[in-house]
Amino acid sequence: MAANTPMMQQYLKIKAEYQDAFLFFRLGDFYEMFFEDAVSASQELEITLTSRGGSEDRIPMCGIPYHSAASYIDVLIERGYKVAICEQTEDPKQAKGVVRREVVQLITPGTKMDGKGMDEKENNYIASITDFFDGTFGFVYADLTTGECKVTITNGSFDSMFNELAIVGAKEVVLAANFQEDRQKQLKDRGVSALSFEDQIDVNDQFANLLTKVQNQKSIKTASRLMHYLFRTQKRSLDHLQNVQSYETDHYMKLDYYSKLNLELTETIRGKGKKGSLLWLLDETKTAMGGRMLKQWIDRPLIDRTQIGHRSNLVETLIGHYFERQDLRERLKEVYDLERLAGRVAFGNVNARDLIQLKRSLQQLPHIRDIIESIENEDMASLSEEIDPCEGLTDLLETSLVDHPPLSIKEGNFIQDGFHAELDTYRDASRNGKTWIATLEREEREKTGIKSLKIGYNRVFGYYIEVTRANLQNLDDTRYERKQTLSNAERFITPELKEKEALILQAEENSIRLEYDLFMGIRERVKEFIPRLQALAKTVSELDVLQCFATISEERHYVKPIFSEERKIVLKNGRHPVVEKVLQSQEYVPNDCFMDAEREVLLITGPNMSGKSTYMRQIALTSIMAQIGCYVPADEAELPIFDKVFTRIGAADDLISGQSTFMVEMLEARNAITNATADSLILFDEIGRGTSTYDGMALAQAIIEYIHGEIGAKTLFSTHYHELTVLAEELPKLKNIHVSAVEQNGHVVFLHKIKEGPADKSYGIHVAKLAQLPEALINRANVILSQLEQGNSLVVPQAASSEIVYETNIQHKQEEENEAQLSFFEQALPPEEKGSSSKEIKVLEDLKKVEILDMTPLDALNMLYKLQKKLK
């Protein structure tokens, strides 16, 4: 380090404190990067890599203009990097040696305040996890753009903590330095952009006031870790941070990571986009903050009957007042993002245009309140009382700022005339300087009688009064002070001109400086309203989501659900809300669902593509919609309140964790079986298909029996194992239903209609035909199916004329001939008994002993019955 220049020594010293971040080191009008930062940044940002220093020891470097740094920072943050902004904190003219520089902000994926990569309807959360090494974890998350902050303590495995993290979708997680490395890797594998570290968990005076509503000591320590990190890295005012709120995960419907993914609540499985999800269907919000609240409600459906009823009743009221709702929607369009505007005010990066947006938003509030008050409803009345128009703030912004200010607050011309007397004076001097000079010139000519007297200006001497030598004898005014002598004239200055000169010359500079100071004062006054603005934002957001539910429910003919205390599901003509919207012009086939105390498990059979998975999903989505307060897609709906929803739908390997399809199946099944209660909803789609037929069927039956006998949760279980349908005879609360299909002229027609009883066929080859597999292949499959249905256990491959050659391991000819599959549940046997089970061999032996010719027809029938009973 000693071999480097003083400036490079300064750089290396600062960089040592920010090893995991790109250090943007301010040199004049550029942010420079050196060494590894320069090499990496040149590749990520596609900028030129240069170098500095001697020829023997060149230092890699690259730089970007400071005025365009924001776009480059956005790129790095989107890719999961951190950026430390190092500014000059000393005037170079006053510096003795190297100019003092300090990091003024650390920008990370979780602390980004604005930029192109931010979705206005998405929160940008940063989270922190604390392991207390006693089976409990602390979890806290905050959105620096809105000031929201919540904390909880979870009991159980790390998976439960991960589920909370998955719900909030935090891009950055703050951990203790000794946090387990395997769990750090798990977090990175699951999509966390950045891991950061903070060991301080004691309460600091900087944020002690934010923890007044948190009582649990573990929660206080958990929240303190995150607060230490935020205050240490941001190095600026965080006055907009709201009081940390404690919450209990048991107060909401629990949806694990896989269930949320399988049901496509906020994003689709394939495209990972919003379109095609439940959020996409429901989002008719008119404000950005309303859109964020809608997503939060979907992520955490309610389980409290009173809270659900409150929301549902408000939706019903808005449905009944169409014109008021339409007027409300128009007004909400003009309301900007109050939460993030308040955050920008506190953070210090608000500009005049932001405050104009705030003013226009506040101007809509009295109209919104009038609309709500015009609806005669007790719940609406209480909501209108929470709408605080902040008249004092509105008045301040209306009288201080022009309607169309420039983007920068360092250019001036954004404060209204009449707001500040000194500023008006500067502006008057700047705008009317020439007029004033011309007037003064005319007045001086009249006073002196010198018609050739003129007032001029140059950069060296400023303003002056010029009198020719021929007229000097006529000048006896004592106010005139000689300033410059020319060959044929003298130049003078008067006290009045001297005073105006200073005003005119410095007017523009002083005007810009004063406007900036006045804006800082306005911003400080706006800060005082931040708590009121945040409370107002919550009310407006709630109102926005409720009108959104009302609009969707009316347009799509949804119905208000009734909540059953007897754990009944009664859905008449229920629909999958998203599929129904996607189909649009096509007619959607609705289906009923009925489940009660005597009908806890529905075993669903039917061909592929017939709609089994869609039917299962629509039951879950209907329940979730009901529990967030929305109407549901049905003609009639009675539902229980579910505490948890578990799903196993779809087949996919978890490549990140190195787990096969079957292992993923088993892990999701275990999660449901170990955590479900009688008040839960379980959806299992073809469990067991990822392994061999016998293993899969055995596991599927065991799972059904366990849920039926031990848990008692409402369960929908789809399967292609038609043999499982006999369970309805043994399990009293299990019922068979199927999705119907018919054959017409050799083609299958899916009716998509749920009917009672088991399905009669699978129609798998018909589905393959729809997928346009080669005709020769389809024909061969039909031949094989026909022979298998006749009882042949092995079908000889066809050799030959066909271009398609089916290869298989051909067993010895002796094993091929007439080998019958006697039972689907064939057991493993010693070699001498291969082909028959011990039970079947005993039946055959009994049959050999029977003298059929000596038996009457009735005796033969009884004997056949006994033999068949033994086989079963």
Residues in binding site for ATP: 606-613
- Tell me the angle at which helices 661-675 and 693-706 cross, rounded to the nearest 10 degrees: 10
Give the amino acid at 6: P
Q: Which of 529, 291, 492, 493 is nearest to 393 (CA)?
A: 529
User: Dmax over Cα atoms in the chain, in whole Å?
Assistant: 164
Neighbour count for residue 807 (Cβ, 10 Å): 6
Residue 35 backbone zone (phi > 0: left; psi -120 to 50: alpha; other: beta): left
In angstroms, the CA 592 to CA 756 distance is: 11
The answer to whether 336 and 361 are in contact (CB under 8 A) is yes
In angstroms, the CA 765 to CA 785 distance is: 9
Return the residue matching tokens 């978890």: 654
Neighbour count for residue 234 (Cβ, 10 Å): 18
| 606: helix, strand or coil | coil
Structure tokens at 835: 């082909």
In angstroms, the CA 293 to CA 538 distance is: 8
Q: What is the distance of C-alpha 65 from the center of its chain? A: 32
Structure tokens at 628: 């967030």
The answer to whether 552 and 630 are in contact (CB under 8 A) is yes
End-to-end CA distance of the chain: 86
130 DSSP β-pair partners: 138
What is the Cβ-side half-sphere exposure of residue 252, based on CA atoms within 13 angstroms?
18
In angstroms, the CA 619 to CA 613 distance is: 10
| 484: helix, strand or coil | strand
Q: Which of 555, 542, 532, 534 is nearest to 372 (CA)?
A: 542
| Annotated binding-site ranges | 606-613
Q: Which of 154, 104, 152, 146 is nearest to 125 (CA)?
A: 146
In angstroms, the CA 290 to CA 123 distance is: 11
489 DSSP β-pair partners: 468
In 97-225, where do the E strands start and end?
101-107, 125-131, 136-143, 149-155, 172-175, 194-197
Quote the DSSP letter at residue 659.
Answer: B
Structure tokens at 788: 């298998």
Quote the DSSP letter at residue 589.
Answer: -
How wide is the angle at C-alpha 489 spanned by C-alphas 485 and 491, nearest 5°? 55
Q: Which of 144, 168, 653, 553 is nearest to 152 (CA)?
A: 168
What are the distances in angstroms from CA 340 to CA 148, 241, 600, 634?
Answer: 11, 11, 47, 38
The answer to whether 327 and 369 are in contact (CB under 8 A) is no
The answer to whether 679 and 305 are in contact (CB under 8 A) is no
Quote the DSSP letter at residue 275.
Answer: T
In angstroms, the CA 855 to CA 840 distance is: 22
In angstroms, the CA 332 to CA 364 distance is: 8
The answer to whether 636 and 767 are in contact (CB under 8 A) is no
Q: Which of 78, 105, 85 is nearest to 171 (CA)?
A: 78
- Tell me the angle at which helices 352-374 and 530-555 cross, rounded to the nearest 10 degrees: 60
Give the amino acid at 495: P
In angstroms, the CA 856 to CA 244 distance is: 87
